[in-house]
Structure 1
Amino acid sequence: MSVLTIEPLVPADREVWQQLFAGYNEFYGRTMPPEFFDHSWAEFSADERMHALGARFDGKLVGIAHFLTHASTTSADACYLQDLFTAPEARGRGAARALIAAVTDWATANKCGRVYWSTHESNNTARRLYDQVAENRGFILYTIPLP
C-alpha cells in the first residue's frame, strides 16, 4: 500500500511541479510561457504572498495545491485555494482530499475565517469531491480580463 504525505514543495520538486501545473493549465485550455512558471515558482519558494503544498505517494510528487490569503470585509482573512491538481494516475486515491485538508489546517493555524475555491461547472469529477468536503453557496464568478 502506498503512503500518502502532504508537504511543502522543495527545490528538487521544480520539474515535476511544472509538469503538474502545466497539466492543470492544459485542463482549463491554457498554455503558459516559461516565464509564467518561473514567476510562480519564485512566489511559492518565497512562501510569503502565495503558498504551495505537494501530495506524494511513496515520496513521488503527484499533486499540488496553490493558495493565498486576502483581507475580507465580512470575516477574518480568507484563504483562497487557487489551484488544485493531481496527476491522472493518482486520482481517486485521496491526494486531492488530503491537499484540501492540509490547506484548511494551514488556514486554521493562520487564523483565516474560511477557505474557498472555484471550479468550472463541467468539472464533474472534482465537484463530486468538493460537494463532500465543502459547501456550495451558489455564488457565480464573474471575471474582467485586463491587458
Structure 2
Amino acid sequence: MSTSPASPSTPDSADAPLRAALRYGLIGLVVLTVLAAAIATALAGAAGLWGALLGAAIGGGFILTTAVVVLLGAKLPPSTAGLIMLVSWVGKLLVALIVVAVLQRFEFYDRVALFLTVVGALVIVLGAETYGVLRQKVPYVAVPEQGGQEDSDQG
C-alpha cells in the first residue's frame, strides 16, 4: 500500500488544482511584469515603465482575484460560493472602471504600454492558471452502477 502526503479525502488535495493555478498565475504575472517593464522602458522611457506596471497590476489583479475568491469559496456551500463569486466579479469590474477613469486624467504613463500589458496579463495569467490546473493529478472514483448487479441476481 502506498501513501501520499495528501490523500484524496484531505482538504489539501481537494484544492490543490486551485492552489497550483494561483501559483502558476503569479509566476506568469511576475515574468510578464519584468518583461513588459523592460520593453516598455526601452521604448517609452519612464512613462512606459509606469504603463507596464499599472497594466500588470490592473490585468493581473483582476484575474488573480478570481483565483483567490474561488480558492476561498471552495469549501462553502454552492449557493454561498456563487454569491461571493458574483459580488467579487461586480466589485472587480467597478474597481477596474474607477481606476481607468481616474488614470484618464493623468499623463505620467504610456497608454500603449498600459493597454498591451493589461491584455498580456489577461492572456498569460489565464493561460498559466489553466496550465496549473491541468498539470495536477486529481484522483477520481468511478462507482459502478447498481443496475448491473441486480440483473445478474435475477438471471
TM over 0.5: same fold?
A: no
TM-score w.r.t. the length of structure 2 is 0.26
Give the structure with the higher percent strand.
1
Give the structure with the higher percent helix.
2
Greater Rg, structure 1 or structure 2?
2
